[in-house]
Amino acid sequence: MKNKKVPTFEITIKVNNNIIYRIIKRAFDIFISTLGIILLSPLFLFIAIMVKATSKGPVFYVSDRIGRYGYTFKFYKFRSMVVDADEQLIKLLKKNEVEGGVTFKMEDDPRVTKFGKFIRRTSLDELPQLFNIFLGQMSLIGPRPCTVREFHLYDERDQQRLAVKQGLTGEWQVNGRSKTTFKEMIEMDIHYCEKRSLWYDTKIFFKTFIAVFKKDGAE
């Protein structure tokens, strides 16, 4: 089935789309995602068992996300919240701590399960996105994919972050994550889109391990 596309928008920023860069980037994505899925399969199994043992509901959280150029795809995470978290979000929006209200952040979010807090702090809930990367829906390095609700709150500047394939980690993720404002995140993402290169991607890749170890900005 062909992926749906959100309403047309114009990309106005200049992005590095060099063919050699894109080929190497995709090859690296396939290699790392395949290696990660194989080597981390015991950890996948452990997390899956713990998610099921500590709360009711499916192992994975699956949602529609917006990818490059506005095409939607199914996005995978280990479930860290209660099963009706999306429905509860509507009631919690007034408690949003992010200026502008596009993305949502709330200290001690009541929707997060006890085990969910652990896998969110350690970013282990993000590991299933290795499958998104392997399938070509995401890249290892790039802006985080937004929800459909968030996209419809974007202005023209915000939409520019969709000029490249969305990623598991990126400039925003290694520079504070939830400690930054929404507009700061947008500018970091656009900066990446405009300046991305093999060297830039390599720096972000290794800085990711430091950010995860420090739990920098993780919620």
Instruction: State residue 77 phi and psi, 5-degree precision.
Output: -140, 155
In a domain, 193, yes or no: yes
22 or 178: which leads in pLDDT: 22
Q: What is the pTM of this model?
A: 0.85
In a domain, 137, yes or no: yes
pLDDT tens for 159-211 read 999 999 999 999 988 886 667 788 888 999 999 999 999 999 999 999 988 87
pLDDT score for 110: 76
pLDDT tens for 74-103 read 999 999 988 777 676 766 665 555 555 566
In a domain, 109, yes or no: yes
Between 8-17, 46-55, 102-111, the lowest mean confidence (pLDDT) is in: 102-111
pLDDT higher than 90, residue 39: yes
pLDDT score for 149: 85
pLDDT score for 82: 83
Q: CA–CA separation, 120 vs 81, rounded Å?
A: 10
Whether residue 98 contacts residue 153, with contact meaning beta carbons closer than 8 Å, is answered with no
In a domain, 6, yes or no: no
pLDDT score for 141: 96
Instruction: Please give the tally of structural domains in the chain.
Output: 1
pLDDT score for 212: 77
Question: What is the domain range of residue 83?
Answer: 19-214
Average pLDDT on 127-140 reads 96
pLDDT score for 174: 87
In a domain, 161, yes or no: yes
- Three-state SS string over the chain comes to CCCCECCCCCCCCCCCCCHHHHHHHHHHHHHHHHHHHHHCHHHHHHHHHHHHHHCCCCCEEEEEEECHHHEEEEEEEECCECCCHHHHHHHHHHHCCCCCCCCCCCCCCCCECHHHHHHHHCCHHHCCHHHHHHCCCCEEECCCCEEHHHHCCCCHHHHHHHHCCCEEECCCCCCCHHHCCHHHHHHHHHHHHHHCCHHHHHHHHHHHHHHHHHCCCCC
In a domain, 13, yes or no: no
Span between the terminal Cα atoms of the chain, in Å? 34
pLDDT score for 181: 82
In a domain, 51, yes or no: yes
In a domain, 5, yes or no: no
